[in-house]
Amino acid sequence: MLDTPAQVIGCHPIFGPMADPTGQNVVLCPARPGGWLPWFRAFFERHGMQVAEMTPAEHDQAMAFIQGLTHFINITFAKTLSSTDANLEHLLQVCSPVYRIFFAMLCRILSGDEKLYGQIQMSNPANVPIAAAFLENGKSLLELVREGNLDAFYREFQAVADYLGTYKDVARDESNYLVERIREFPPQRSR
């Protein structure tokens, strides 16, 4: 688009189709906005959406975590269930509400269009180094578990907990809300 004389504002609504987008996030990437940026921002805000403004590179880096890594983790988890022939029925019988939420998010992604999720994985070059870092961190943590090194595990756990800071409290409150809501649904079984 930048090869044309057009004014350019990249726009990424970070949500799927829904009747009411109030409270949803939208990313604007003003590459050559001319005078349109205030109008676009006001349009989305008027409809109750939260607008974030960033460069295309910042957007792609953020999406490598928000979409790329999140989808990668969920698909890898499901592949691990499948490749180890885990008994899904038994697992679902012993899920607490927290893990029912995890399975619900996993299945939400895997109920989607494989072409969309494949394109999300393949089209953002920032995904590869983030997924590689995830796998390296997983190997490092696995080594601590193999060694039975509880002290090192505790230090790693505390370091990442400290990194999350006060957001942990907000997220715990949000997840407590989700736990209470999912308890309203009877547990489902597989197949």
Q: Across the chain, which distance is largest between two alpha carbons, in Å?
A: 61
Q: Is 140 helix (H, G, I), strand (E, B) or coil?
A: helix
pLDDT of residue 190: 65
Q: What's the number of CA atoms in the CB half-sphere (13 Å) around residue 25?
A: 9
> What DSSP state is assigned to residue 112?
S
Q: In this predicted structure, what is the pLDDT of residue 1?
A: 86
Q: What is the pLDDT of residue 43?
A: 96
Q: Between 97-110 and 167-182, two packed helices, what is the crossing angle to 10 degrees?
A: 90
Q: Given this model, what pLDDT does residue 102 score? A: 94
DSSP secondary structure letter of residue 40 = H
CA distances from 99 to 42, 95, 103, 111, 162 (A): 39, 5, 6, 18, 23
Q: Report the C-alpha gap between 135 and 140 in whole angstroms.
A: 9
- Where the chain has pLDDT below 50, the residues are none
| pTM of the full structure | 0.89
